[in-house]
Chain A
């Protein structure tokens, strides 16, 4: 029963990792950009939530109403103002520019909010639980997982059933031809990054409610997101959810064996899958 509990808790934790990863997966799918600052943007969203709740006294989940559009706007501005200039055949510019961005965000947060760990106070929601068949499930993890499923379903739907999604798929397939067909790829990329950061905004708030955070944890979140994407297979959003779940389960089971093994077990599970299935479990496109 204890083991079953660890597995279920891990699967629910995987929902959060899938939310970290969905944005990363989306922008890679649309413009082949890997954003090293992704984890720091998640932390930035958590801090935005902190500022909003402190200023207005809103519940963190209601702060989403402010944080999510703000992150979307940041995403669009970031892509049009900076990241579009880095796209091309050369791998180095996007990688190193987002790396520089990561350092700037991290130290900017440090300057504004200090290194003290912070947390979003969600009141009774943090401790509420329901029991299912002898297992006690926290409402928050269940809610997070449900949000992850809803977000991935919504992204999937956007991709395949809207004109925006058609534009995403078009620039993903061939930028030049999409441009000839009247799509402004710079604008499309901006929208893709905006959408990715909308998801990141949700992920940041849920992270902030679940655990304490400080400016230095962005790198770790990027790694979880990346592992979930690779485990699930590039370009497959449902695969990313599965990847997040596998990572979450590996971590909680590892922690069950020895508390010091939590993170290590997650990384080892990732390396194992990389060794046996280099393209991930459910690949859709080649890297």
Chain B
């Protein structure tokens, strides 16, 4: 038996097929302004933004062990930066979105230094405190409408594009672009050297540190990158909403609870999980939303049942049954068949 009969590889047929299908789906989605109605595009845009938020939360919780219930801090921060930078600095909205990301990264550094002192579940509540501090602080800024918030002036909205259709198509593409960018970024990050370190930390922190991985630094990088991208998403979200208020911007339900449900139901610690979770979450929402609070109770129950009975979520179930991996991250040893010949 020679070594050549075995091959170590990341890719598989399923992954190649998924990549091709994924590319086709993205092309079809890019063309949505020509085939979808206004309401559908709005819904899809929202789905893309949630997918992006969920992928980032998954990177933090599922890989870096940073369970945050305070990501609304950065969603709201990004939203407010968009408003402040366009209204007071006169920047173009797109420039403001980019800059919101940079500012989000900058502010996340001192925040991380503080709350990284808390461990595990206390870290989670610490992130929530930070979000509250952000909310209460922005509520004090009277130039941004204080507690009641403010609307984006028409001139700034028009600077994006004059016609309403073009504007809506543009904001749809931005949302789609954000989702593709974030999922791709998470995927390539996990394939990189740092991603490997992160996966090692997830599997066993002690073993990882004994191999020379700087755990604190790796987690810090993940936290800052997530904060920057979440801030940009926040700016995008409020560019679509056109109105911001502290309660909406820093809502723990909207920007964290739903995101957690998406990731938990879809499958935490997998790249595919948030995608599946987003589809399930919106399917549930569109069918049950009329039930109001009952819908949220159902969502809570589903999340608890999934966490107890299938902690790796829907995707975890699929993966363990079919040994599928659509985003190839793990290396596998494959024995080549005799027909392929070594």
- Interface residues of A, Cβ cutoff 8 Å to B: 33-34, 36, 82, 85-86, 90-97, 99-104, 106-108, 110-111, 219-220, 222-223, 226-227, 230, 260-261, 263-264, 267-268, 270-271, 274-275, 278, 287
Contacts of B61 in A (CB 8 A): 92
**Would you call B132 and A104 a contact (CB within 8 A)?**
no
Contact A226–B125 (Cβ < 8 Å): yes
Number of inter-chain CB pairs below 8 Å = 122
Q: Given A92-B61, A271-B129, is A100 in contact with B140 using a C-beta cutoff of 8 Å? A: no
Q: Does B297 contact A (CB under 8 A)?
A: yes
Q: Which residues of chain A are near B262, meaning CB under 8 Å?
A: none
Among B165-192, those with CB < 8 Å from A are none
Indicate if B121 sits at the interface (CB-CB under 8 A).
yes
- Beyond A111-B293, A226-B125, A287-B119, 18 additional contacts (C-beta under 8 Å) are A36-B121, A86-B307, A93-B307, A95-B67, A99-B257, A100-B301, A103-B253, A110-B293, A111-B294, A219-B128, A222-B125, A230-B122, A264-B133, A267-B133, A267-B136, A270-B129, A271-B129, A274-B114
Binding site for A on B (CB under 8 A): 61, 65, 67, 69, 114-115, 117-122, 124-126, 128-129, 132-133, 136-137, 139-140, 252-253, 257, 260, 264, 268, 293-294, 296-297, 299-301, 303-304, 307-308, 311
- CB pair A34 B121 closer than 8 Å: yes
Q: How far is the CB of B265 from chain A (nearest CB, A)?
A: 11
Q: Pick the 8 closest A-B CB pairs, nearest first.
A: A34-B121, A103-B300, A104-B300, A278-B117, A107-B293, A100-B300, A100-B304, A100-B303
A90 to B308, CA, bound (A): 12
* Contact present for B297 and A223 (CB under 8 Å): no
Question: What is the CA–CA distance of A150 and B31 in the complex, to the nearest angstrom?
Answer: 68
Closest to A99 in B: B260
A97 adjacent to B308 (CB under 8 Å)? yes
Cβ of B300 and Cβ of A107 under 8 Å apart? yes
Chain A residues lying within 8 Å of B307, measured Cβ to Cβ, are 86, 92-93, 96-97, 100
Name the CB-closest residue of B to A33.
B121
Interface centre among B119, B132, B136, B300 (most CB of A within 10 A): B300
Interface pair B139/A96, CB less than 8 Å apart: no
Task: Select B118's contact among A92, A111, A219, A287, beta carbons within 8 Å.
Answer: A287
Closest to B119 in A: A287
Contact B65 A91 (CB under 8 A): yes
Expressed in whole angstroms, the minimum distance between the Cβ of B307 and any Cβ of chain A is 5
Report yes or no: B121 in contact with A91, Cβ–Cβ below 8 A.
yes
Assembly CA distance A86 to B137 (angstroms)? 36
Pick the residue among A91, A100, A104 that contacts B120 (CB under 8 A): A91
Q: What distance in Å separates the Cβ of A158 from its nearest Cβ neighbour in chain B?
A: 24
The reply to whether A223 and B132 form a contact with Cβ atoms under 8 Å apart is: yes
Closest to A111 in B: B293
Which residue of chain B lies nearest to A277 when distances are taken between CB atoms in the complex?
B117
- Bound-state Cα–Cα, A21 to B252, Å: 21
The minimal Cβ–Cβ distance linking B139 to chain A, given in whole angstroms, is 7
Contact B118 A274 (CB under 8 A): yes
When distances are taken between beta carbons in the complex, the residues of chain A under 8 Å from B119 are 287
Instruction: Tell whether, in the assembled complex, residue A94 and residue B121 are in contact, meaning their CB atoms are under 8 Å apart.
Output: yes
> Can you give 9 A-B contacts (C-beta < 8 A)?
A34-B122, A34-B124, A96-B303, A101-B304, A103-B299, A107-B300, A223-B128, A230-B122, A274-B126
Kindly state the separation between the CA atoms of A227 and B124 in the bound complex, as whole angstroms.
12
CB distance from A253 to the nearest CB of B (A): 16
- How far does the alpha carbon of A33 sit from the alpha carbon of B299 in the complex, in Å? 23
A262 to chain B, nearest CB (A): 9
Report the separation of the CA atoms of residues A38 and B67 in the bound assembly, to the nearest whole angstrom. Answer: 18
List residues of chain B with CB within 8 A of the CB of A223. 125, 128-129, 132
Contacts A95-B67, A100-B303: A107 and B125 contacting too (C-beta < 8 A)?
no
A97–B304 alpha-carbon span in the complex (Å): 5
Taking the closest CB of chain B, its distance from the CB of A186, in whole angstroms, is 15
Q: Name the CB-closest residue of A to B256.
A: A99
Closest A residue to B61 using CB positions: A92
